[in-house]
Each structure stands twice: as structure tokens, then as C-alpha cells.
A and B are shown apart, each in its own frame.
Chain A
Amino acid sequence: MKRRIMLAIPILIIYLIPLSAYGATDQCYTCHSALEDKESKLFAEDIHFKKGISCSGCHGGDNTTEDNDAAMNKEKGFIGVPKGNKITEVCARCHASEKMMKSFGSKLPVNQFDNLINSVHGKTSTAGGGRIVQCTTCHTAHGIKSVKDPLSPVYATNIPKTCSKCHADANYMRTYNPTLAVDQYTQYLTSVHGKLNSTGDPKPAQCASCHGSHDIKPVKDIKSKVYPVNLPYTCSGCHSNKEYMAQYKIPTDQFEKYARSVHGQALLVKNDPGAPACNSCHGNHGAAPPGIESISKVCGTCHALNEELFSASPHKAAFDRKGYPECETCHGNHEIITATNKLLGVDKDGVCIRCHGDQNSSGYKSAYIMRKLIDSLDETKQSAMILINEAEQKGMEITEAKFKLRDINQVKLEARTQVHTFDPAKFKDIVGKGLVISRDATADAKVAIHEYYFRRVGLGVSVFLISLLAFGLFLYLRRIEKK
């Protein structure tokens, strides 16, 4: 302990010397602090002041003279209080210059200014006169702290509050986008991220973690970190980082699993922005894992009919009783794969057998029947397809039958929805429609194949008759020409 104090004294001395030295030579600060104005009080705590930057660094003028008129002389570059875009331009003089930043020993990036003017906040304010957001809007003016300083308004635990000053103000936000929600902050406070953030933990996601800081883009902008196609990568930035997530004791393989899922394939491989991303199930500002009882509601936002049928089925009560997560029990969560026939039934790959192992149980029998039905639909479709292909290879016009057969895909889709009733009778009604389509298409194909052979026979007969006529004519001609 004694050693630590000994070490801290010289560091403190080195830190304080320039402060007092500059304080003594900076006439702006000397006078304004003597006046005890608010700005000079705040500036004493400002990181720029600590780095030896005078008031004149931003406001211009001469900081070496005591004479008011000389110090605040426009000819000496005094600009007074910068307004509108001038504010950011004053900051950019140093913060956009690598040389200047290096001269103060700063390693901060120098692209904030560019990022800001190209961001959604860089657009013109409705109040007119400048951009929506200037540097001081978030960082404040005279009491600017390091981002790592817990007192800074842009320190991780303070960011939500800082952003909410505008984003929770319905009157203000309405002037930009009346449809934009203003409850993000309220929702955030209910989220897992928000709750942890409120305890002073800077690691959980806050506004800037997902939206970025200076380079914030509108959500609909494909470059936005929260554009649907980019969102899983943004979330996985933290959630796939084992080291970062270690203290929270939750798995870190969600992204890996999601990328393999039917949803992930649609979003990340096919780039379909309508496919569900992390926020579709977990929420965005109020992100939290769905509770066991609410899973079917969450999935039901897209799979509405499945949810409705499931909720009306006997499984709903049974699952609630046993505490099984609804859709997740059969389909999984992050790694939801395309539901095939295999999922249904009592084979080793089927999910029904997991609960309905007893062969005499009605559940086992229902699963067995439904699987047989859907398999028979596939088989009849396959055999119709073979016949249609044969007819097509024979050069027959069979487009209509091919179109008919496409309707079976719709039937299969309906059947896969209907399976959530777990009622073999209802399921049979749907599959029956497909079997009729298969039967019709098969009949069409058979007719076409028969027609193919009929045409050849017809051709044979016609060619024979025409040849016979031609031969008769030939004989007649020979007879008359002999005369």
C-alpha cells in the first residue's frame, strides 16, 4: 500500500503541473474562472483543458493578453460561441486531423467528422441552420469527458439516457419521423441488456453497441449495423465472443446454429431481409429470451396459423402442464431446420416418438397415420412426375398436368400447417386433396402416353392408305402411258 502511494505522488505531480502552469498563462481561463462562470467551472474538468487546450482553442482570439478587447478581437480569430454546423467544424479542426491529434498524444480515430456528416444525424435539422446532431449534442460543450470516464454522457452506462433525450421526446421526434417509436428507452430498461446496464455494467449492449456512434445509419439503410441482413453479425459480435460473454454464463453458439437454420439460410445466404433475424424473436430494444409460455406467440407473429392450431390442440395444455417450451420442443430454437416428413411420425428421426413411445397410445397411432398419409402423397406425386416426364420426353404437350402437380406443394404446405392440430382426420382431408391432384395428373400423363402411341398407329394407317393410293395412281399412270 505504501509503495502504491509513493508511486502515485510523482504521477499526480506530473499531472497537476501543466494544469496549474496553463491556468496561470491562459488569460481566458484566468479571467473567466475569476468571474466564476459556469463554463469555466465545467472547463476545469474538461479533458481538453487537462490536455492544455485553452478556451481560444475553440473560440479563437488571443489567450495571452489580459486586455478584453485584444483577447476577443475578431482579427485575432475570435469567433465567439460557435453556432450550428460551426460547432462540429471547430471540433473537426483537431479531431479530423491525424497530425493535430498526435500532437496531443491521442490515438482517437480521425474519421468521426466524416462519419457524422454521412450519418442519419448528419442530415439537416428541422429547426434549420445545421445538422440534427452536433458533437456537443452528445459530448456536451465545456465539460467534455473521455468516453471511458463514467461521468461522460457517452460512457456505456450513460448512453441510453443521452440518446433518449431526443429519442424519447415525442414532440421532437415527430418533426423527423412521426411513425418512429419513442419508447426505445423504456423498452431498453426492461431488456436484459438494459437491466444489466442500469447496474453499472458497461459491457451489455447499449444504443451505440448496435447502432454505432458517429456513423449511425437509418435502420432501412443496407449499411446500417441493424439492417436485417447485418443484424445477426452485430449481435454475434458480443454473443459469439466466449471471453466477453463468460461472466454471463450463457451459450455463445447461437449465431453458429442460427446460420445453419432455415431462418439463417434465408437471411444470410439468400439475403432475404424479410427472414427473421435475432430481433424478430427476442425483440430489439427490449431484447430478452422469450418465456416458455410465450414461444408460440413469438413464432406465431409469422407462423400465425400454426400457432392458432397448436393453441387449440390438446398439446397446448399438455405442454403447459409439463413446462415444455411450445414450438421449440419439436423444432428447436436457434437451429430450426426445414420441417420435412421425417420430423413427423414414430421413426427414430421423428419427434413424436420422444413423448409417444407407447404403441397403444392414441398419440403414437395418430403420428403413425399422419406420417403414412404424407408419405403416400409424396409417393403418388413422384409416380405422377415419372409419367409426366415420360410423356414430355415423348414430345407430348403436358404443361397442364405439370401445373396441376405444382398444386401438391401447396397441399403439402397446408398439411404441414394442419399437422399442428395433431388430428389425423383433419390431416387426411388436406392430404386427400393432394392425392386427387396426383391422380388427375397421373391420368393426364397416361392419356398423353396413350395418345403418343395412338399417333404412331394412326400415322402407320395413314401412310399405308396414302401409299396405297399413290401406288394405284402409279399403276394407272403406267397403264395409260403404255398406250
Chain B
Amino acid sequence: MKKYFAQTYKWIDERLDLTSLGHFIEKKYVPIHAHSIWYYFGGVSLFFFLIQVLTGILLLFYYKGSADLAFESIQFIMSKVQFGWLIRSIHAWAANLFILSVFIHMFSVFFEKSYRKPRELTWVTGVFLFFMTLAFGFSGYLLPWNKLAFFATKVGTDIAGNIPIIGDVMKGFLRGGDDVTGATLSRFFGFHVALFPGIFTILLVIHIIMVQRQGMSEPLDIESSPNAEKKSMPFFPNFMLRDLLLWLIVLNVLAILAVFFPADLGEKADPFSSAPAGIKPEWYFLFMFQTLKYIPAKIFIMDGELLGIVLFGLAGLLWVLVPFWDTQSSKGLRNRKINYIGLFAVAFIIVLTILGWIS
């Protein structure tokens, strides 16, 4: 048996040069320090993405992306397809945990200033991946074609319509017409299962290649300490097995959530019915939604909602460009302002989300 395995390995090695890859992995080390825990969230996010791809493909076997059949097909998945309920519940829960995990990963990188030279582009691709996860959430939310999703999409695309200059065109493009209809569902389905996964995979590959090429970033204080004091562990098998251990724990949590709190389906969307009272977006958009609610309708001569959108747009742009305006961290200098900005952003998101939740 061992002989056959060795022969097979040799056959592949001759063609793909697995030995050099092995050498690369053998030489790869992960720093050990007080903040090492944050390294795992990138891997956990990747795990959630893989779960989403797998469960998404399984759901595709039965899901029908049309206004007449979408709701019924999900009903069928939930009641008739063997383990369909489990697949859908895991897909729904993993989507939420995926976004949460990406949030944590992104903020941990921010606070560690790991975006500093030479990892500026890793950060940029990472922030775009974060935007993509939100886009996945927004497009996927409409697919069950239930009442809540229908009206949430209406509100969401209305907000998009307020974006200066391109708003109207963008709203029309997102909706596939003047209103949220079956055409919107069809294109959201297309975005969710084809366009976004394609873009996401490309960005993810670039992101991972960069991480592998550059290695794990060390916090500023560790980086400046003498090499003799630095601790590390081999990526393979130690870190990888630790990642795997965490993935197993996460899988357990997912299974428990999916069984005890299965994904709800609600009522089928009815464009002629009135919007449910107190309609809110998903939790990851809640802080933005709540902020827009607090902004007065008119601020001087400017429309309040428009101002809010412009401000969020600017904040997003500054967020993408952090490595380029935080020049101090790149020079290896401490930059407390970044910590304060990060803390403000986290506090803002948490407080506004809570306010949105309880309002």
C-alpha cells in the first residue's frame, strides 16, 4: 500500500513539483504572541465561505429563482427534501456568522495595523472581500421571496437610489425596473450564485496568495523585538490542525443553531400588501439604517438621507485607503489615533445596531 502511495506521489511530483511546495510549507511559521488568537478569524471566515459554497450548491439543486416559484421551492426544500431544512438553516446561519467573522477579522487586522507596508494591497483586497460578503447577504436575503425580504429589498434599493448622480441608474439596475419585482429576484439570484462568487473567489485567491507570500504580520512591538525573543509555530501541521480544531468547534455551533433555531420562511411576498410594521434590515446593515433614521430630513439645504449616504461612502473610501493615510504605522511608529478611530467605529456600529434592534 505504502509502495503504491509512494509511486503515485512520485508520479504527481514529477509533473507538479510537489516537493518544492512541501519545502515552502515546511518553512512557513506562524508567530506566537499575546494576539495570536486573531490569526484564526481569517481561517474561520474561509471555513464559513466554503460552507456557503457547499450548502449553496446543494440548495441550487432545488431552488427556483422566479417570483412564482421561489417561495414554494424553499418550502419544498424545508419540508420535502431530505435534510433540506438542515442545509438551508446552515446556509442561513453560516451567512450571518460569516459576516460576523469577517467583521472581527477585519477589525483585528485594523487594530494590529497589519495593513502597514508591505501588506497594503492585502488590506485593500480584504476590505473589498468584506463589501462582497455584505453584497452576498443583501442579494441572498431576497431569494426566499418572502414578505420581509421583499420590503427590506425595497427599502434597501430605495436607499441606493439616493446615491448622488448614479443613484437612479443604480436603483434601476438593481431592481431591473421601477419596482421590486420578479425581475429583481432573477438578477439578485444571478448576482448571488454567479457574479458575486466569481468576483469573491478571484479576490480571495489574490488575498490568500498575498498572505502566503508575505507571511503572517506581527504586531509592531513584537516586530521590533530581537529575533531571539520571538516565538513561532510551524504552519504545518500545528497551525493548520489548530485551525481545523476551531473549524470543528464552529461546525458544532452551526449544527446546534441550525437544529434549535431553524431558518424561518415567513409569508410569501405580496407586492400589493402593505409593508410590515417596523421593518428592519438584517443586523449587519442595521447601524447604517439606524444612522439614516437619526439624520434629520433636511440639513441646511441638503437632503438628510443623501448626506448620510455621502458620509458613509466617504467613510468606506477612507477605510479602504487606511494603509495609505496611516503613514506612521508603516514606518513602525505607534499611531494611537488609529486605535481611537477603530474604537469609535466599533462602538458606533455596536451602539447603533443595538439601538436599531430595540427600536
Contacts and interface: CB of A to CB of B under 8 A. Distances in A.
B248 A480 contact: no
A458 B255 CA distance: 10
A477 B248 CA distance: 14
A480 B241 CA distance: 11
A480 B238 contact: yes
A281 interface: no
A473 B245 contact: yes
Given A398-B79, A399-B75, A466 B255 contact: yes
Interface in B240-292: 241-242, 244-245, 248-249, 251-252, 255-256, 259, 261-262, 265
B237 A466 contact: no
How many interface residues does chain B have, given as a range? 20 to 34
A398 B261 CA distance: 16
A470 B241 contact: no
Contacts of A397: 75, 78-79, 85, 265
Interface residues of A, number: 21
A195 interface: no
A289 interface: no
Contact of A481 (B79, B86, B238, B265): B238
A467 B256 CA distance: 12
A470 B79 contact: no
Nearest to A463: B252
Given A463-B255, A463-B256, A466-B255, A477 B79 contact: no
A183 to B, nearest CB: 43
A476 interface: yes
B245 A470 contact: yes
Interface in B335-351: none
Nearest to B84: A397
Contacts, number: 50
B233 interface: yes
Contacts of A466: 248, 251-252, 255
Interface string B110-148: 000000000000000000000000000000000000000
Contact of B79 (A399, A459, A473, A480): A399
A473 B241 contact: yes
Given A398-B79, A455-B259, A463-B255, A476 B241 contact: yes
Contacts of A481: 233, 238
A469 B75 CA distance: 34
Interface in B204-255: 233, 237-238, 241-242, 244-245, 248-249, 251-252, 255
Secondary structure type dominating chain A contacts:
helix
Nearest to B244: A473
A189 to B, nearest CB: 50
A467 B237 CA distance: 20
B338 to A, nearest CB: 34
A425 B238 CA distance: 78
Secondary structure type dominating chain B contacts:
helix
A397 B79 CA distance: 6
Contact of A459 (B85, B238, B259, B265): B259
A395 B89 CA distance: 12
B252 A467 contact: yes
Contact of A477 (B78, B242, B252, B261): B242
A400 B259 contact: no
Interface in A379-418: 395, 397-400
Contacts of B261: 395
Contacts of A480: 237-238, 241
A462 interface: yes
Contact of B249 (A455, A459, A462, A470): A470
A474 interface: yes
Nearest to B242: A477
B256 A459 contact: yes
Contacts of A470: 245, 248-249, 252
Contact of A469 (B233, B248, B262): B248
A81 to B, nearest CB: 59
Most chain A beta carbons < 10 A, residue from B237, B245, B251: B245
Interface in B45-80: 75, 78-79
Nearest to A456: B259
Contacts of B233: 481
Most chain B beta carbons < 10 A, residue from A395, A397, A459, A467: A397
A473 B259 CA distance: 25
Contacts of B259: 455-456, 458-459
A287 to B, nearest CB: 42
A248 to B, nearest CB: 51
A443 to B, nearest CB: 14
Contacts of B242: 477
A476 to B, nearest CB: 7
A480 B259 CA distance: 35
B255 A459 contact: yes
A453 to B, nearest CB: 11
B78 to A, nearest CB: 4
Interface in A450-468: 455-456, 458-459, 462-463, 466-467
Given A463-B252, A466-B255, 5 more contacts: A398-B79, A400-B79, A459-B255, A470-B248, A470-B252
Per CB-CB distance, the 6 closest pairs between chain A and chain B, nearest first, are A397-B78, A470-B248, A397-B79, A459-B259, A473-B245, A466-B252
Interface of B: 75, 78-79, 85-86, 233, 237-238, 241-242, 244-245, 248-249, 251-252, 255-256, 259, 261-262, 265
18 contacts: A395-B261, A397-B78, A397-B265, A399-B75, A399-B79, A462-B255, A463-B255, A466-B252, A467-B248, A467-B252, A470-B245, A470-B249, A473-B244, A474-B245, A477-B238, A477-B245, A480-B238, A481-B238
